[in-house]
Structure formats: C-alpha cells, structure tokens
Amino acid sequence: MSNQPQHPDFPIMLVRTARDIPGYTVTQPLGILYLAAELRRYGYGNIRLLDMRPGRMQVDDLMEQVKSFRPRLLGLSSLSYEAPTVAEIAQRARRLDPDIHIALGGPLPSSMKAESFEQIDAYSIAVGEGERSIVALVEGLASNRFPPSGSDLWTKSFAAVSYTSSSVPR
C-alpha cells in the first residue's frame, strides 16, 4: 500500500460514542485520534472526528452531522455499556443513507464480535488495534473492493460472518 491513496477525498467520519449514565468520565478519544493519524499518514484528509462524551452529544445531534457530512465510512468506537446507543446510531445512519459503510471498533465489538453483529447493523468490525485495518478498509471501500485483503476485520455479508487477517504493510 502506497502513501498516496487513489481516493484521498473519501469521506470518513469516526465517532467515539457515549451513553448518558451517571458518573461517566470524559477522557481524550485516543482510539479515533490514532485512527485519524494513521489515515492522514497514508494521505487521507477528508476525515471528521466526533466525540459524543464531552458535551453529552445526543444521537439526534450526531445524525445531523452525518446528514451534513455524508461519510462513506462511519466508524463507531464503543464500550460495552454503549451498545444500545451504537445500535440506534447504526439504525438511524442506515435510514439516512442505505449505502453508508458502518464499521465498529473499540472494546465492545472486539470482545463480543458475534453479539455485536446480531445487535448492531454494521458491515465490519475492527478486531483489536484498528490502526492495523483502517487503511485497508478505507482503500478497499474507496476502490469498491470489500472486504479488503490485508486487514484484521470481521465482516458481515448476507450469508455469513468471515474473518480476514494479515498486517497492513508499513
């Protein structure tokens, strides 16, 4: 994979999700920051990052952002207790744009892959560290090659869930 992508303007939205529960803490969204840095390193620049936690962003507000930006890839990073919110986001995003690729990452889908696919309308799950698969996923989607080779992704097709694994060249 070269450092010059074929489709550098491919629109990507990465979201750290939140669920409004008492006592939750606000920290830096390191996961989506790392992913964006990796994408930028490979030449992708049309990236929007959203963190739902600091302002306690509601799903309605996020949907306005999705509607305005029109991403081709919506990446949702989540914790297990955020599963109901992530399911709602995916369902509503799919209603806005049936062709949007919804990818899951973070502790929830990495530890509960099958359950995540059952509960959330997503096409792929980044297993473990997403930096190893985000570039391959974006390049594959931008080039109409899904699922991409060279990634650590669980992918959902209409027939089955499959797993592809190999490292993204550095």
The answer to whether position 157 is within a domain reads yes
The answer to whether position 7 is within a domain reads no
167 pLDDT above the threshold of 50: no
The answer to whether position 1 is within a domain reads no
CA 131 – CA 35 distance, rounded (Å): 6
- Please report how many Cα atoms fall inside a 13 Å half-sphere around the Cα of residue 90, on the Cβ side: 25
Cross-strand bridge partners of residue 47: 12
The residue with greater pLDDT, 12 or 21, is 12
CA 82 – CA 115 distance, rounded (Å): 13
The residue with greater pLDDT, 55 or 168, is 55
The answer to whether position 3 is within a domain reads no
The answer to whether position 153 is within a domain reads yes
The pLDDT of residue 144 is: 85
The answer to whether position 67 is within a domain reads yes
Distance, C-alpha 37 to centroid of its chain: 14
Nearest CA to 75 out of 9, 134, 136 is that of: 134
User: Domain range holding 124?
Assistant: 12-164
The pLDDT of residue 26 is: 76
162 pLDDT above the threshold of 60: no
The answer to whether position 63 is within a domain reads yes
The C-alpha angle 45, 72, 107, rounded to 5 degrees, equals 85
Asked if residues 16 and 50 have their Cβ atoms less than 8 Å apart, the reply is yes
Length of the chain, please?
A: 170
The residue with greater pLDDT, 3 or 116, is 116
CA 149 – CA 102 distance, rounded (Å): 18
For residue 129, give the CATH number of its domain.
3.40.50.280
**How crowded is residue 106: how many other Cβ atoms within 10 Å of its Cβ?**
22
145 pLDDT above the threshold of 90: no
Work out the angle between the directed axes of helices 134-142 and 30-41 (0-180°, nearest 10). 60
The pLDDT of residue 150 is: 57
- Count of the separate structural domains present in the chain: 1
The answer to whether position 140 is within a domain reads yes
1 pLDDT above the threshold of 70: no
Structure confidence by residue, pLDDT tens digits, 19-67: 877 666 778 899 999 999 999 999 999 999 999 998 889 999 999 999 9
The pLDDT of residue 166 is: 39
Structure confidence by residue, pLDDT tens digits, 96-141: 999 999 999 988 888 888 888 888 999 998 888 888 789 989 998 9
Q: Which amino acid is at 15?
A: V
Quick check: helix, strand or coil at residue 125? strand
The pLDDT of residue 118 is: 87
